[in-house]
């Protein structure tokens, strides 16, 4: 069920009209996730608005994927809560349908065709015009010409495009992205980035886990570096964008040299 945008505008001094306040899309409070005696996520709190993209960077084992799954209600926290548009997760079915997950695992049915995989996902998510939505998203990801092929015959890159289409067919309001560019060729990566920018412009919130600093900060409105389950760097994207060489140097300092 789509979440309406704020429509009221506040009147400020001098008669100017301020832009409407953005409704918090994701609110996390004191998230902890422990596996045995190890805390994969340790006391994370954050707020994301509609149209925000949180880019999570850090070494393997930093807790990025665990945090991503906690933010989408796909994993139960040991402590703390996450709310999606005001509803505590995991929430009812209507709230869970607002979430889309894209990872480096395709999560496709190999014997089914491209169209069958995506249409099945649309039907499972309650999309009324499932055929039309399937055609639209396959066109967006530039894979409509393969719609009748079983996915087991596709290359790794084309399978990833179909997997992305499957995750986006129901127009999710929160998109979880775990190394989503894995296996994509230049055409697929371009189509995917365009789709993500369209989603952001439409008010969807993105959480992106990636080891690629370039692709991450290109989309990010907020960049976080994690180590040992906690944030060691957390900044909103500057108006002119991040200075890539400076950010890369900062990442090396915080991660590889272990200075928090």
Local mean pLDDT, 10-residue blocks, the chain (260 residues): 34 39 84 94 96 95 95 95 94 92 89 97 94 96 96 93 94 94 87 89 94 90 95 92 91 75
Same structural domain, 214 and 252? yes
Same structural domain, 177 and 81? yes
What local confidence, expressed as pLDDT, does residue 21 receive?
53
What local confidence, expressed as pLDDT, does residue 22 receive?
57
The answer to the question of residue 143 being in a domain is yes
Residues 6+ apart with CB under 8 A from 240: none
Domain total for the chain? 2
What local confidence, expressed as pLDDT, does residue 182 receive?
87
The answer to the question of residue 1 being in a domain is no
Q: What is the DSSP string of 182-204?
A: TT--HHHHHHHHHHHHHHHHTT-
Same structural domain, 76 and 110? no
Q: Which domain holds residue 135?
A: 106-171
The CATH number of whichever domain residue 83 belongs to comes to: 3.40.50.300
Same structural domain, 163 and 177? no
Q: Is the peptide bond before 219 cis (omega within 30 degrees of 0)?
A: no
Same structural domain, 177 and 114? no
The answer to the question of residue 117 being in a domain is yes
What local confidence, expressed as pLDDT, does residue 11 receive?
23
């Amino acid at each position: 069920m789509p979440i309406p945008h704020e429509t009221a505008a506040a009147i400020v001094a001098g008669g100017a009209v301020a832009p409407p306040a953005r409704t918090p899309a994701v609110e996390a409070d004191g998230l902890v996730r422990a596996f045995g005696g190890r805390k994969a996520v340790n006391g994370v709190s954050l707020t994301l608005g509609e149209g925000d993209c949180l880019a999570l960077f850090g070494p393997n084992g930093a807790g990025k994927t665990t945090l991503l799954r906690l933010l989408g209600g796909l994993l139960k926290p040991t402590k703390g809560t996450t709310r999606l548009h005001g509803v505590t997760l995991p929430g009812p079915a209507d709230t869970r349908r607002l979430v889309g997950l894209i990872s480096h695992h395709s999560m496709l049915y190999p014997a089914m065709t491209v169209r069958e995989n995506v249409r099945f996902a649309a039907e499972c998510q309650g999309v009324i015009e499932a055929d039309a939505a399937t055609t639209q998203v396959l066109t967006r990801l530039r894979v409509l010409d393969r719609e009748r092929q079983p996915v087991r015959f596709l290359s790794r890159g084309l399978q990833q495009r179909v997997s992305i289409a499957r995750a986006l067919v129901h127009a999710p309001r929160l998109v979880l992205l775990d190394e989503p560019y894995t296996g994509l060729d230049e055409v697929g990566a371009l189509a995917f980035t365009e789709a993500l920018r369209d989603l952001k412009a439409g008010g969807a919130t993105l959480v992106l886990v990636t080891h690629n600093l370039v692709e991450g900060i290109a989309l990010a409105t907020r960049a976080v570096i994690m180590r040992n389950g906690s944030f060691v760097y957390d900044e909103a994207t500057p108006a002119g964008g991040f200075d890539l060489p400076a950010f890369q140097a900062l990442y090396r300092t915080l991660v590889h040299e272990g200075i928090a």
